[in-house]
Amino acid sequence: MTTIVALAFLIPLGTALQRDARQEALADAARRSAIVRGALTVGSDPAALGRAIEIAGANAPAPPFVHGLSTGGTPRAAAADVDRAVQNGSPVVADVPGGVVRLEPVPVAGRVLVVEVFVTKAALTAGTRGTWLILILIALGLVIASVIVVDRLAARAVASARELVRAALAVGDGDLGVRIQPSGPRELAEAGYAFNRMADQLVALRADERELVADLSHRLRTPLTVLRLDADALDSDDTSVGSFSAAELDRRRTIRRIRQAIATLEGEVDVLINTTRKAVTQETGPASCDASEVVRDRMVFWSALAGDQGRAHRVIGAHTRIPVPVPRAELAAALDAVLGNVFRYTPQGTEFEVAVSRRDGYVAIRIDDAGPGIADPDRALRRGASDQGSTGLGLDIARRVAQQANGSVSIDRARLGGASVVMLLADPEAPPRQVSRFGLVGRLARERESGSRRRWTRRSNR
């Protein structure tokens, strides 16, 4: 494509330059002819005419020739071309061996003389060879440069696509810990961010599933305990001492089998609980992460969507390292859940703000928006409760993550006018201070004591 474009521009340019060189050579021939024509018009003095021809022929391959006078020299034009110039009454350019001749008729004393000026082919194409060479070099340079640029761009795109395919195959083989560094064109970079988010969600979902299995296993322990107590209350199952009837022996063996089955079932439940807990720990990654890094990483994704929807946004306090005792995947999921509510339940163009701060032994992650707000904060924080037709689990995810870090989630009025969701997480590097009526700790204590959060009237509910 670049070659076609280069040729489309450079060939007409070279042709135009070649035409200009020809016109310049013919213009020079016209100037030489004008010198001879002036001498013929002034008079017929052979000496003056000879000097004019000599001047006009200086630095020329051949002096001008005057048809109709004996001025010496050898004519190159054919008689038919001379007659055509006389009949037309205007200059004529005719091809001759080695170049062209310019024939200009000059009326003198009742007759028409024709001044012939010879122009060589070299003069007609003077400088065009170098021009064509330069244009060809420019075209080659453009093609080579475009090939290099396209190759680099294609290499980045191919490398990004291969990395995405490799990661997808790894996830398909069960390696949920693989992540990629988004790069390449914007579309592939967005696909990379989407893949990382998908992998994080898969890890969280598998962890939740294993937690559910562990919870169900814990629930099985209650009836198993009852069964074990009932089995212990039965008679002895010892058959090695004494003599027993066949019925008694069978009964004692049955009691033994019941107790063995209960013990085996309890062992299997314990193994299931330990296995699922261990898998959850391994898949959710380390039990701590950098809250600022997670906020910055997730805002790279959400800021692109905010730009498409015309939402003004800013991030505050995420420039320094702020550790929190929560796995990175779970904190990212909680942040995505709250930000997803902002995008889902506020009109496009609504401003929002994400802030991270450390104070009083806690880390606060605050998400404010300028939307319609939340009418019933308590209901919004209850699992499965929603007036918008959703599952109502968005804020509950944030609440569970906060509770995992010995914190809480509160909903209040935002400075921007909408909802303000604050996640309080214990700061592992600064143990909580004494309860104060001021600050985050005091606020957290008042919320736990009252068992309710501030209410304020708004139109919608997330």
Which stretches of 346-423 are DSSP H helices? 377-381, 394-404
- Is 458 within a domain? no
DSSP state of 170: H
The Cβ-side half-sphere exposure at 178, using a 13 Å CA radius, reads 15
Residues 384, 236, single domain; the answer is no
Answer with the one of 109, 126, 143 that is the final residue of a domain: 126
Instruction: Read off the tokens for 6.
Output: 């280069």
- CA distance linking residue 104 with residue 34, whole number of Å: 9
pLDDT tens for the chain, residues 1 to 462: 656 666 666 666 667 666 777 777 778 778 877 777 777 777 666 676 777 777 766 777 777 877 777 766 778 778 788 788 878 878 888 888 878 888 888 887 777 788 878 887 777 776 666 677 777 787 778 778 877 887 777 777 888 888 888 888 888 887 878 888 888 788 888 888 898 898 888 888 877 776 666 556 545 655 665 576 667 777 777 777 777 788 878 888 888 888 888 777 767 766 665 565 555 555 554 568 899 999 998 888 788 778 878 889 999 998 889 989 888 877 887 888 888 888 878 888 899 999 999 888 889 999 999 888 887 777 777 644 444 443 345 677 788 888 888 888 888 888 888 889 999 998 888 765 554 544 455 555 555 555 444 444 344 444
Statement to judge: residues 214 and 348 lie in one domain: no
328, 208, 211, 224: which is closest to 275 by C-alpha? 211
pTM over 0.85: no
Whether residue 433 is found in the same domain as residue 339: yes
Query: What is the number of structural domains in the chain?
Result: 3
**pLDDT score for 400:** 83
Q: What percent of the chain has pLDDT over 90?
A: 6
Of 288, 437, 413, which is closest to residue 363 (Cα–Cα)?
A: 288
**3-state SS assignment for residue 368:** strand
Are both 358 and 297 inside the same structural domain? yes
Over the Cα atoms of the chain, what is R_g?
48
Helix 246-283 × helix 186-232 angle, to 10°: 160
| Residue 434 CB neighbour total at 10 angstroms | 8
Where is the domain boundary, 93, 126, 159? 126
* Domain CATH for 42: 3.30.450
The token pair at 35 is 């010198």
Res 293: pLDDT: 92
Query: In sequence order, what are the beta bridge partners of 119?
Result: 100
In terms of DSSP H, where are the helices of 176-286? 186-232, 246-283
How confident is the model at residue 346, as a pLDDT? 85
Q: Report the alpha-carbon distance of residue 287 to residue 135 in Å, rounded.
A: 65
216 and 314 share one domain: no
> Does residue 305 share a domain with residue 415?
yes
The answer for residues whose C-beta is within 8 angstroms of residue 261's C-beta and 6 or more apart is: none
Rounded to whole angstroms, the Cα distance separating 412 from 377 reads 8
Asked if residue 137 is part of any domain, the answer here is no
Q: Does residue 214 sit in the same domain as residue 301?
A: no
Examine the domain organization and report whether 35 and 97 are in the same domain.
yes
Give CA–CA dist 97/121, Å, rounded.
Answer: 9
On whether both 353 and 422 belong to a single domain, the answer is: yes
Q: What is the pLDDT of residue 316?
A: 92
Shared domain check, 333 and 251? no
Residue with tokens 């070299």: 122
Per the structure block, which two tokens stand in for 412? 């209040």
Domain boundary among 283, 318, 344: 283
336: left (phi over 0), alpha (psi -120 to 50) or beta: alpha
Cα(427)–Cα(448) distance, integer angstroms: 18
Q: Which of 114, 116, 69 is nearest to 96 (CA)?
A: 116
Give the residue numbers spanning the domain of 45: 2-126
The pLDDT, as a whole number, for residue 457 is 39
> Which residues lie across from 117 on neighbouring strands?
102
Q: Answer yes or no: is 12 within a domain.
A: yes
Distance CA 154, CA 12 (A): 31
User: Rounded CA gap, 80 and 192, in Å?
Assistant: 80
Whether 327 and 265 share a structural domain: no
CB atoms within 10 A of CB 365: 30
Residue 180 lies in a domain: no
- Taking alpha carbons only, the member of 428, 438, 421 closest to residue 406 is 428
Is 197 part of a structural domain of the chain? Answer: no
Residue 121 falls within a domain, yes or no? yes
**177 found inside a domain:** no
Tell me the residue type at 189. Answer: A
Looking at residue 451, the DSSP 8-state letter turns out to be S
CATH number at residue 249: 1.10.287
CATH code (residue 389): 3.30.565.10
- Cα–Cα distance measured from residue 385 to residue 359, given in angstroms and rounded to the nearest whole number: 31
Tell whether 374 and 391 lie within a shared domain: yes
Please check whether residue 185 lies inside any domain of the structure: no
